[in-house]
Amino acid sequence: SQQGEEDPQALSIQEGENATMNCSYKTSINNLQWYRQNSGRGLVHLILIRSNEREKHSGRLRVTLDTSKKSSSLLITASRAADTASYFCATVPTGTYKYIFGTGTRLKVLA
């Protein structure tokens, strides 16, 4: 089964609103990362949160990690049309090296 699962699968909001995406995973991890993929293009690394961290901020991004619930959330504040993309969480299960990506959330920000 999928290690990382995001929800919602798709999200459509108005420019200026906040967008929240959630990610759940199944095993213990070293860290969790969030990536963005613009339509058919490369992966852009957004933020990394380590397993001993609970919250991290970077610009308009806020990531939380709850290892007891094996879940993470990504909040994008004051969204812009340019934020339209697919967002993925990626985990590295403890003792491994493979990134396990979630199914992704397709975010559409309407101008």
Partner 1 sequence: EAGVTQFPSHSVIEKGQTVTLRCDPISGHDNLYWYRRVMGKEIKFLLHFVKESKQDESGMPNNRFLAERTGGTYSTLKVQPAELEDSGVYFCASSQVDYGYTFGSGTRLTVV
Binding site for partner 1 (CB under 8 A): 2, 30-31, 35, 37, 40-43, 45, 88, 90, 92, 96-104
Smallest gap from Cβ 45 to partner 1, in A, equals 7
Smallest gap from Cβ 43 to partner 1, in A, equals 5
Shorter beta-carbon distance to partner 1: residue 77 or 99? 99
Exposure of 4 by Cβ count < 10 A (0-12 exposed, 13-18 middle, 19+ buried)?
A: buried
Smallest gap from Cβ 111 to partner 1, in A, equals 23
Length, in residues, of the chain: 111
Shorter beta-carbon distance to partner 1: residue 77 or 100? 100
Q: Which residues pair with 79 in a beta bridge?
A: none
Is 45 within 8 Å of 58 (Cβ atoms)? no
